[in-house]
Homo-oligomer: A and B are copies of this chain.
Amino acid sequence: MRIAELSRESGVPIPTIKYYLREGLIPAGERTSPNQAQYDARHLRRLRLIRALIDVGGVPVAGIRELLDSIDAKGENLHNALGTATHATLAAAEQGPPTPSQARAGIELDALMAERDWDSDSARARQMVINALATFFDLGEDDLAVLLPVYADAAALVAEAEVGLVSSRSDVDSAVEGAVIGTVIGEQVWAGLRRLAQEHYSNKINTTGPDEGRDDRP
């Protein structure tokens, strides 16, 4: 197909496709004349993958190349692919010595991981947890931090199922691709379900009357 059809099929505007081509995020088409190239199903799939990672997964464009490199690296193993997915989608930790709240959060996270025998060392994932926990402390919402083991139970439940599922794929390259996509998109599935579950449980607890307060809003 020509670029116009690739654009129609994928819903991605032609200038955006040309940008991805220039950046090497999608492979060049097959030249059929000096001004024309042909594209096929692989290009379409790659384009859909890029848009899903950006639009649904919220991955910054800068992280896309790293994810695609990981997916494309033949013989890449699942463990490394998961590491890449974490690295490419989580912002780098800010430099600087930890604040007192971050130091306290680090101690709590270390204790949790030791208790559960988690041998993980992703600096970016650690920093994400520490910064969020430290925020509870900084805002005087210390009691929210007691949920740390509950968050960890839920995270372990999901992670074990995810790793088990993708590692059972017979083709390692397909497992790697599933790991990257599942990590990025699965987060959105969980986050949406959590909001729905919150609504369900707060419905059950809600005793202050129907929609009071909301009426006062501008």
Closest to A133 in B: B189
Residue A37, interface by CB 8 Å:
no
The number of times this chain is found in the oligomer is: 2
Quote the shortest CB–CB distance from A13 to chain B (angstroms): 16
Q: A144-B182, A164-B201 are in contact. Are A188 and B77 (CB under 8 A)?
A: no
Q: A56-B135, A125-B192 are in contact. Are A209 and B77 (CB under 8 A)?
A: yes
A77: B residues at CB distance < 8 A? 206, 208-209, 212-213
Residue A3, interface by CB 8 Å:
no
Contact B121 A151 (CB under 8 A): no
Tier of interface size on chain A: 35 or more
Closest to A149 in B: B161
Bound Cα distance A56, B185 (Å): 20
What is the interface of chain A mostly: helix, strand, loop, or mixed? Answer: helix
Residue A104, interface by CB 8 Å:
no
Contact B154 A185 (CB under 8 A): no
Residue A106, interface by CB 8 Å:
no
A144: B residues at CB distance < 8 A? 165-166, 178, 181-182, 185-186
Residue A197, interface by CB 8 Å:
yes
Contact A52 B185 (CB under 8 A): no
